[in-house]
Structure 1
Amino acid sequence: MDEDRDDFEFERRFFCREFPDELNDGDAPTLIVQGYFVHEDNYALRVRLQGEGVDRPMGERTDALNVLLEERDRFTAASMTAKGPAVGGTRYEAERPLDPSIAAELVVRGSSLIVKNRYGIWLGEDWWNIDVFGGSNAPLIVAEVERSGPVTDLVIPPFCVTEITDDARFSNDGLAEHPYSTWSDSYEQELQREGSHFLKGFGSNRSL
């Protein structure tokens, strides 16, 4: 059923060390603050607020709750999403819109928070989202592509260091429970030891 298919997301995600300056056109990104009320065993219940063109620097001292309180009148969209575990680039995701004022009150009243800037960029034939995280997840940068079906024959830009599509550590709910800064050193050692990898089961991986 088409309605059931709409409740699944198809995406591939990549770890990046830096945001390419040449891809920043000077426009302010989308500011995202999201709270997780459930984040266990790759199941999650998330409330997200988004503000277009809200430029807040992301660093280790960026506090998600302070950002929410200071910018709450500039959030123009919000949603509540139930998520299941990711398998092979596919994840159950049922999303419903919320009034931003209600969403803000829910998030303030108790959840694990994440704050990030999202940049949107056309690269090749796909729209890429590049998330720059703040707070305890700084300086993490994640690039992702989402389609209405499996993400096959993808053109992968050079700033993508390695693929993290099915790595639960890098899911936003995983980062809410175990922030990147608490394990970034061990991950860098792992990456040096094992090298980069890109999934092979999605057709050809092409270079930009």
Structure 2
Amino acid sequence: MDEDRDDFEFERRFFCRQLPEDLDDGDAPTLIVQSYFVHEDNYALRVRLQAEGVRRRMDARTDALNVLLEERDHFAAASMTVKGPAVGGTRYEAERPLDPSIAAELVVRGGSLIVKNRYGVWLNEDWWNVDIFGGGNAPLAVAEVERSGPVTDLVIPPFCITEITDDPRFSNDGLAERPYRTWASAFEQELQENGSHFLENFGSNRSLD
């Protein structure tokens, strides 16, 4: 096993307007509550808890801490992760499993929290995650695809409005520091003026019909 390579993530991320209807097949998404104890200059220390089989509404009133306390018994997986700055779709990421009860105690006691639902689907040759955020980051929707190596020659589905792979504002630690709601209007104005863009240094970008 190449441990050095395993401690890097290779992904591309995209801003979406909303969850595509065909991604919600009626099954409960993965519920995620995570807290950032370090989130500065794109360095981060994250504690994440995940629950399956739980459906919680994500809107501006969704409080991450309340969700954690109310669904605490359902969180069966947890991890602690150290992240470095993202450069060209590559980011140092050392993730290790953590006992969910310990993770919950850490999150309750501090950090900057995020809550979201994660949906997943196979599109072409890639597994796509679409995150729907609650609380201060509602109504943000972000799609991402991750591979074991650089994400090249990607088939991009039509629900991806513009690429945010190298935009630190949209990293989860960036959203923990400055929630989307506080700058959403400025971003929409920026998108209207500049239009959509997709990175061109990852081979050919193809469209999913």
- TM-score, normalisation: structure 1: 0.99
Q: For 1:165 and 1:52, locate their aligned partners in 2 and report how far apart those are by CA, in whole Å.
A: 27
Partner of 2:125: 125
* Residue identity (%): 84
SS at match of 1:79: strand
Instruction: Work out whether 1:177 is the aligned partner of 2:174.
Output: no
Q: Which amino acid aligns with 1:41?
A: D
1:75-102 C-alpha deviation (Å, 9 max, x unpaired) = 0100000000000000000000000000
Partner of 2:203: 203
Partner of 1:31: 31
1:184 deviation in Å? 0.1
Runs of 4+ in 1 over 2 A off after TM superposition: none
Q: For 2:135 and 2:180, locate their aligned partners in 1 and report how far apart those are by CA, in whole Å.
A: 10
Q: For 2:169 and 2:22, locate their aligned partners in 1 and report how far apart those are by CA, in whole Å.
A: 29
Q: For 1:177 and 1:20, locate their aligned partners in 2 and report how far apart those are by CA, in whole Å.
A: 27
Q: Which amino acid aligns with 2:137?
A: N
Contact persistence 2:23–2:119 (CA under 8 A): no
1:153 deviation in Å? 0.3
What 5-or-longer segments of structure 2 have no aligned partner? none
Partner of 2:18: 18
1:23 deviation in Å? 2.1
What 5-or-longer segments of structure 1 have no aligned partner? none
SS at match of 1:47: strand
- TM-score, normalisation: structure 2: 0.99
SS at match of 1:93: strand
Q: For 2:80 and 2:165, locate their aligned partners in 1 and report how far apart those are by CA, in whole Å.
A: 22
Q: For 1:142 and 1:39, locate their aligned partners in 2 and report how far apart those are by CA, in whole Å.
A: 19
Cα RMSD over matched residues? 0.7
Alignment of 1:1-150 (within 5 A): 2-150=2-150
